[in-house]
Chains A and B, each alone.
Chain A
Amino acid sequence: MSDPQISVRGVSVRFGSHVALHDVDLDVSAGEVAVLLGRSGSGKTTLLRAVAGFTHPSEGRVYLDGRDVTLAPPHARGLGMVVQNYALFPHMRVADNVAFGLQARRRSRREIDETVPHFLEMVGMSAFAQRFPRELSGGQQQRVAIARALAIRPHVLLLDEPLSALDAPLRAEMLEELRGLHAKLPEMSIVYVTHDQTEAISLGHRIVLMRDGRIAAEGSPRSLHDEPPNRYAAEFFGQANLLPAAIEPGDAHGRLVRVCVARQVVRATRTAASPAAGNALLCIRPHDLRAAAGGGHGGDDNRLSGRVHSVRWLGATQRVMLGIDEVSIRVDLPGNVEAPRPGDPLSLSFDPERAVLLADT
């Protein structure tokens, strides 16, 4: 693997007595899209700002293309950046906004005259070059902000919640455009901050899940979804059911093991994050459960049976809350099947490969 384009080593950031980042390590390779995902206050924006140079680490180092830039000012880092409120200069026209970074780099008039239309065209804003930002919609402003960041041809593009000010349909459209842009500039690394897991899954090659100033989990969207390394990742990423379970004695080896959940024995998958024996959490996604034919349980059918507490129709799916003893499970059934009624018995079957065991911590 090539050297990382961005390398963060042991970075901590303190604001007075508050520690916003604790000893964070992060590498981003050339062409990679790394998404920093987390709730407000998790440290994701602080980490991005430390990479951008707006926040200086209290400890640790930041490297760009192998160069130590820990104390370098933002203008010496050569990064492109787009923020949530776009921050287009309101007193400049669209073309002047896009030209700003090139002028700052003392590029020739000719180069500026060629580059600005090129990037405005790339984001579909050629017709708006002479407008002021206030004359544009939110989505248009976002496109201009991206063109402005790309015009300096950065190796790294930092995006801080760039779509959060847009409504849902426009957000989906812009996500597609961002994917398309990256396909056009495949060598460019992107670090994308968001609290929205849909954006993270859509865009990220790798998701870095942050919590309390630390990296709680990282991996590809699929690996985090299918095999979350810990309870927080499972809960945050995809709202998994986490059911108290006990690994059956004698099942200490092998990928598939039998576990007891609410006095019912089912099979589940052991991963690197699973305990060897004893108590564990059975992690299973609501959409990986399906209503089983018949009411019984056990055997090779891998079933859990219980009683329906509530049903909420959501259009494409219906969210069923099922009670099994003291345990409550969320189930997403297709919206076009007959809904069970509260109080009905219901058996759920699932593929043991889709249910993983986690440490109960």
Chain B
Amino acid sequence: MNGLSFSAGSRRWLAALAGMLVLGVFGLPLLMLLLASVAGRWNGVLPSHLTLEHLRGALAGDERLALWHSLATGAAATAFALIQGAWGAIAARRAPARVQRWVDAVFLVPIAIPSVSIGLALLVAFSRPPLLLNGTVSFVILTHVVLITAYAYLNAKAGLARLPPHFEEMAGSLGAPPHMVLVRVTLPLLLPHLLAAAALGFALSMGELGATIMLYPPRWVTAPVEVFALTDRGLIFSGAAVSIVLLACTFAALLLLDRRRPRA
């Protein structure tokens, strides 16, 4: 028999080890964040004087506005990134291999560059006429689009690679012109990949800080920028509460997207 095989005891140990790693790396920081969001004081190992005051604060005033800005930015950026990424992948797939490599490079470059550098590059590019976007909400959204389009492109490309050509050929043979094949056949069949891209892009946008902090206008503070500002002022528990609400919003949005995914 090929591959590794372990005894039942070994498998249990490996599973326990993997569980502890996951808990340590992902679970513990989240737990700490949650505890901090309800902490009144934290002088010992565990917090004391537990309170919901910070969470209430996260849902009111500037914090609530920041959450709304993040949700709006995430939704808009995800929509634009999906259109752009899917369009790029669909347009490039029948192109010669050399052209495809160039298109890949153009779409994937933002992944290889730190987000703060992208923010700086955009700031330089769009801070003087005729392309003056500095200080606008559109600039924040554009920045997020640049940062997350690569993931939409990659997902759409992976979906197209897995799409058997027979479906589109059959639609064509039945008399459907190319635009009808795209709208009625290709895009619906790509839907699971586009939804996965949307989920990833939205989550990334909701947590984006590096580039946003370089160029956000004062009237469009996003939740991560608000968290940064709060913690910078020493309001750790308030920052943790905003983080928890941000996490909950992202999770709810991802659940919604997942419910739209066609079941096999």
Contacts and interface: CB of A to CB of B under 8 A. Distances in A.
Interface of A: 52-54, 73-75, 77-81, 83, 85, 87, 89-91, 100-101, 104-105, 134, 148-149, 152, 158
Nearest to B174: A101
A148 B174 contact: yes
Interface of B: 164, 166-167, 169-178, 180, 184-185, 188-189, 191, 262, 264
B173 A75 contact: yes
Given A74-B169, A83-B170, A100 B189 contact: no
Given A52-B173, A87-B170, 8 more contacts: A54-B172, A73-B172, A74-B172, A83-B169, A89-B189, A91-B188, A100-B174, A104-B175
Contacts of B188: 89, 91
Contacts of B167: 87, 89
Contacts of B174: 75, 80-81, 100-101, 104, 148-149, 152
Contacts of A149: 174
B264 A134 contact: yes
Contacts of B180: 104
Given A75-B177, A83-B166, A104-B177, A89 B171 contact: yes
23 contacts: A54-B172, A54-B173, A74-B172, A74-B173, A75-B172, A75-B176, A75-B177, A75-B178, A77-B173, A78-B175, A80-B173, A81-B170, A81-B174, A83-B169, A87-B169, A89-B188, A91-B188, A91-B189, A91-B191, A101-B175, A101-B176, A104-B180, A158-B173
Dominant SS among interface residues on chain B = helix
Given A89-B185, A91-B188, A134-B264, A152 B166 contact: no
A149 B191 CA distance: 25
A83 B173 CA distance: 11
Contacts of A79: 173
A87 B191 CA distance: 17
Contact of B169 (A54, A80, A91, A134): A54
Contacts of B264: 134
